[in-house]
A and B are shown apart, each in its own frame.
Chain A
Amino acid sequence: MLTLGGIRNAMWCVIAFGIVACAATPVPVEKLAVAGTSIERAEQAQAAQFAQVELDSARNKYAVARAAADKNDAKVAARMADQADIDAQLAESTARARQQEQLATEMDASLRDLRTETLRRDNSAAGAQPQ
């Protein structure tokens, strides 16, 4: 049975819950800073090129965290900052791994060339030597 007073009570409950759940702790400035630094590190590791998906995820969550912080929603800000941070770390490590793997592949190719070249030179040297 819904009464006007009941609805009013419910409204108050919602407001009270919202305040308790979302704004009980101070805005996590430090977490935001950490996430921001991690994103910068990922960018420096060329994550934009080598780990686009992970970097985008970090950037989006960082934006959500900042927006939540602006609205004094500390809980969401903290969680999103943490997730942005770990996404950025993953972006960085993925970018580094892919770059090193690319270098390793290039090294293998250059070794193959070098072996072929050495073999060819040895053969031609042996052929050219008078007996």
Chain B
Amino acid sequence: MQRTLVIAALASALLGLAGCETAPESDAVLEQARHAVAQAEADPNVSKFAPAELERARKLLVNAEGAAREKGARNETAAHYAYLTTQMARIAGQRALEQVALRRIKAGETERQKILLSAHENEPDQALAQTRAVRLEGMQASRTSRGIVLTLDDVLFDTGTARLKSGAQRSLDQIAAFLDENPERRVQIEGFTDSEGTNDYNIELSQSRADAVAMAIIQRGIDAQRVRALGYGEEFPVASNANAGSRQLNRRVEVILSNGDQVIPGRVIVGAT
């Protein structure tokens, strides 16, 4: 009778196992779980980007090890926790991979912006090439640290007035078109005269001429916020004022197109009279 009871108990234990779950190979599954956690721990990206998941995997492994230390049918609990451990460690790994990829995308986006920006920086060269053709019509272009400087000489103005001659229209059209295509750039117009006449008169005339050019650009659809006009009178001569030819060179309007979107600094008059 006792023997039959033992047999019955064994049979029931086996049936219970078979009835509830497939018999686990606890050792192998547990070993796999330990390996998965160790692998996740060895990956610096996992501790960096998925610390919470890694911690959960560690806790599940503790549960699995605890269940495994106890004997008998509880082994299936150990196998269950071991399985959860392995999967959680893999989740940690995948989260880390996702974050690494996201950072790669972000860095790529920054790099893309940089390339596009530097491509824009090359545009002054193209603008310069375009403006060379305009030179004969009274405009000279040069690149300076302040931006691209276009010089309109005074043959584009009626003598002693700020009225633009019709010959200036083409140059202004081109400047406006350039600004239209480069919406981030600003434009600063600086007027200059020769040394003939009074200082006040010269400042007023140079300011009026700069204003006239600014107005012509604004009338071509450029936002007034991007346009600034300054009159410097006879300051900053480019020639000596000793003869008619050099005075002619000094009577001019300079149009400065900014590099990028920075405000163009004004000129500092040293030892102004």
Contacts and interface: CB of A to CB of B under 8 A. Distances in A.
A66 interface: no
Contacts of A39: none
B101 A118 contact: no
A57 to B, nearest CB: 9
Interface of A: 1-3, 5-7, 9-10, 13-14, 16-18, 21-22, 73, 75-76, 79, 82-83, 86-87, 89-90, 93-94, 96-97, 100-101, 103-104, 107-108, 110-111, 114-115, 118, 121-122, 125, 128-130
B21 A76 contact: yes
Contacts of B111: 111
Task: Classify chain B's interface size.
Answer: 35 or more
Given A93-B98, A97-B94, A14 B112 contact: no
Nearest to A17: B12
Interface in B95-109: 95, 97-98, 101-102, 104-105, 108-109
Contacts of A122: 122
Contacts of B16: 14, 17-18, 21-22
Contact of B104 (A107, A110, A118): A107
9 contacts: A9-B5, A10-B8, A14-B12, A17-B12, A21-B16, A21-B73, A96-B94, A100-B105, A130-B132
A115 B94 contact: no
Nearest to B4: A6
Contacts of A21: 16, 19-20, 73
A12 to B, nearest CB: 9
Given A13-B9, A125-B122, A125-B126, A111 B94 contact: no
